[in-house]
Structure 1
Amino acid sequence: MAKLLRATHVPAPRELPTLADRVEGMLSRAAARGARVPDGLDSILRRVRARETSAPVLTHHDVWPNNVIDDGDRLWLVDWEFAGAGDGMFDLATVARAANLDIDGEHAMLEEYGLPGGAHRLAEARWSIGLFEGAWALAMHTARGSDGGFDFARHASDMFAGLKNVPN
């Protein structure tokens, strides 16, 4: 996965939205549909925006197992709905989280990607996943409700609560 992501993380076109842009859009849509956006997210969003890189790359922003196809010869990254411009570390953090990597696994992934000293950036990106997922879940709850097979409202609440654990 690290090699695949490194290959996809090419310089991003200027017009692509950043992770913070995506989060702002989802929160705005949720609020317009009547959702109460938790207090304090504006400062968290400013922190994420302040960490945006001056040389953004094309990022997928949704690298979960259901968006990766293994045809036996190579991996394919599909469903680029949330793609944007930003720090590729967010995609690596999503992989680390989805694979439940421990510290050694994270270091091996960072080494394979070509950023052996990126542990702090990875921790920061893992933290920002909570903001992105929370905004997504809140927007989904306002669009679909949470009475189906997945409780979007609960997931949003859980993700936002995790934002209290800010990495140093």
Structure 2
Amino acid sequence: MVTLFIKNMVCNRCVMVVQNELEKLGISFVSIKLGEVTLENDLSIKEKEVLEQNLTAIGFRLIDSKKKQVIEQIKNLIIDLVHYQDTSLKHNLSELLSKELQFDYNYLSNLFSEEENTTIEKYFIAQKIEKVKELLAYDELSLSEIAQRLNYSSVAYLSNQFKKVTGLTPNHFKNLKEEKRKPLDNL
């Protein structure tokens, strides 16, 4: 089995699009998840070129560099944790990343900072703030419920972090008419 890492594959719709592309090209796969495709067999050079061209045409990119693959895994784990898991974080983020990726957190942190010009913590906060924006836009949960769902220690802490990142209070953001959310792959 061979694992391919794909940049910008950050949502379930992305997974479906990549799956359709693989099926269209007749490429057998074992599994697909955010940012990763596990294939039954290695691709020929020609198959890889065609896949890369097709993925690029729809906004994705194959990642060959081992360092960039690790970065993409970090991003996808954080995106999955913040946007798609309904459970609160049982371990701290550094423990989770180290356990999942089988690397020392200091290595992961340094690599991420070098390659992305931001820290893992700032990336995690940016994802959480985007999730807060989404939940505020849906207007189904109170700020207290949002704080609890995203594992904030208090509403005040969430509000302070939200204002620090966006320049707006959560209530002011909620009252805005124009769209202020960013696509996940642009964070």
TM range (shorter): 0.3 to 0.5
Larger gyration radius, structure 1 or structure 2: 2
TM-score, normalising length: structure 1 = 0.33
TM-score, normalising length: structure 2 = 0.31
